[in-house]
Amino acid sequence: MNVLVINCGSSSLKYQLIDSVSENVLAKGLCERITIDGSRLTHTPAGRDKVVIEKPMPDHTAAVKLVLEELTDPENGVIQSLEEIGAVGHRIVHGGEKFAASTVITDEVVQAIEECNDLAPLHNPANLIGINACKECMPGVPMVAVFDTAFHQTMPKKAYLYGLPYEYYEKYKVRRYGFHGTSHSYVSKRAAQILNLDIKNSKMIVCHLGNGASVCAVLNGESVDTSMGLTPLEGLIMGTRSGDIDPAIMEFISKKEQLSLEEMMTVLNKKSGVAGLSKVSSDFRDLDAAAAQGNELAADALQVYAYRVAKYIGSYVAAMNGVDVICFTAGVGENNSAVRKMVCEYLGYLGIAIDDEKNALRGEEVTISTEDSRVRVMVIPTNEELAIARETVALVP
Ligand code: ADP
């Protein structure tokens, strides 16, 4: 069966068409500037050059229509007709406490996702628009919702409660949820597979280091703690997000700079992280280049970043009373050997030693720790789209 995987944002839509038997990507692409002037679709059929189509996309339904046209196009297409799409898998950011697993999309499920909109006002409404647009263009094709939060629903209360008045949890469900669950789940399972390890009897820490970044403690195959919270702002220092700060800083800065709460949130989400610290960029390639040229702020930002990752790893070793495997994944985790090295240098007390030659490899599933390292350290490229396609196939009759 071919599965169309959809990741819908407020003005963008990413897609992949995956053959679930071979698990090959048949085509992938991105619609940008949906609802905005200058919208365009970049479509890449596997093994062929990408095509860029500039056409107005006044709404997401127009975007989905255009994607389906390209997928079946005689020249750029990869399938003959829409009948060759057996199911659609949607990435949904927030499932609140309602969803501990992926689920077939029904009217009730759509309503339940809507009820989580409050918790992810930037993402869930956009995800729902994607669901509706696909329903309109492909009525009758089964659809599955795969949640970023679902994998973390196994977290125990001691890990998900904040030290706030309990009534905020009771009234508004203010608690830690965690994100990147599809990635943490995929990577931890893949590590167990590669190492021939019984996942039901294992302690793993997954570091998903992309633009957004989070660490997850995976005990016996289940998430027991993760660094993101109610929203993706908590935890690690990220590309542009601050991660953990003293909450009193918000009042302090907002008074000094006369910023509203909304403006303060923009500072924490969009202007902080390594971008804010370095004054250079949120992109680690730019930071590396600047640091190599002697830019001290860029070098400091990298240090602050790696130190925070190492501290989270340390706290999750405590949470699980040990660790067997540490995995790095996502853009920075997969590609930036210097960051991995910096993080692992803090972990000598765990008996961790890194093989520099293996750490220099790229784009592969590889163990980067030495033979005699007491904990295995691995790089495992994440594949959230494939994970979504697998979840979808498992649920569609
Ligand atoms: P997102 O959270 O947007 O999916 P990614 O996982 O793509 O983010 O991660 C983006 C980060 O990964 C950027 O900071 C970028 O510097 C880094 N990155 C991506 N590709 C490479 C590469 N080939 N070499 C070094 N860094 C990379």
pLDDT in tens, 241-283: 999 999 999 999 999 999 999 999 999 999 999 999 999 999 9
Distance 295 CA to ligand 1 centre (A): 21
Question: Is residue 210 lining ligand 1, measured as CB closer than 6 Å?
Answer: yes
| Strand stretches in 343-382, DSSP E | 366-367, 376-379
User: Which of 184, 335, 364 has the most ligand 1 atoms within 8 A of CB, as the residue to mutate?
Assistant: 335
From 183, 277, 332, 334, the mutation candidate for ligand 1 (largest count of ligand atoms within 8 A of CB) is 332
Q: What is the pLDDT of residues 140-162, one digit of tens each?
A: 999 999 999 999 999 999 999 99
Residue 362 pLDDT > 90: no
Among 148, 180, 283, 284, the mutation site with the greatest number of ligand 1 atoms within 8 A of its Cβ is: 284
Q: Give the angle 162-166-171 at the CA atoms, nearest 5°.
A: 110
- Cα–ligand 1 centroid distance for 302 (angstroms): 14
Q: What is the rounded CA–CA span in Å between residue 88 and residue 395? A: 11
Each residue's pLDDT tens digit, 33-73: 999 999 999 999 999 999 999 999 999 999 999 999 999 99
Alpha-carbon distance of 208 to 220, in angstroms, equals: 19
Residue-wise pLDDT for 290-306, tens only, equals 999 999 999 999 999 99
* pTM for this prediction: 0.95
Nearest 5°: the CA angle 268, 272, 277 is 150
Average pLDDT taken over every residue of the chain: 96
Find the 345 Cα to ligand 1 centroid distance in Å.
22
- Mean pLDDT for 356-370 is 94
CA distance 13 to 59: 11
Alpha helices in 141-293 (DSSP H): 157-160, 166-172, 181-195, 248-257, 261-270, 273-278, 284-292
233 lines ligand 1 (CB under 6 A): no
Which of 148, 283, 288, 324 is the catalytic position? 148
State the average pLDDT over residues 77-83: 95
Residue nearest to atom 18 of ligand 1 (CA): 331
124-137 helix and 107-114 helix, angle to the nearest 10 degrees? 160
Q: For ligand 1, atom 22, name the residue with the nearest CA.
A: 335
Q: Determine contact, residues 198/251, Cβ cutoff 8 Å.
A: no
CB of 362 shorter than 6 A to ligand 1: no
397: pLDDT strictly greater than 90: no
Q: What is the mean pLDDT of residues 18-29?
A: 97
Cα of 237 vs centre of ligand 1, distance in Å, is: 15
Distance 4 CA to ligand 1 centre (A): 24
Report pLDDT for 81. Answer: 94
Averaged pLDDT for residues 368-376: 97
Strand (E) or helix (H) holding 388: helix 384-395
CA-to-CA distance for 5 and 2, rounded, in angstroms?
10
Atom of ligand 1 nearest to the CA of 382: 6
* CB-facing half-sphere around the CA of 218: CA atoms within 13 A: 32
Mean pLDDT within 314-329 = 98
Is 148 among the residues known to form the active site? yes
Q: Residue 389: pLDDT band by 50, 70, 90 thresholds? A: very high
Whether the CB of 211 sits within 6 Å of ligand 1: yes
The protein residue with its alpha carbon nearest to ligand 1, atom 7, reads 331
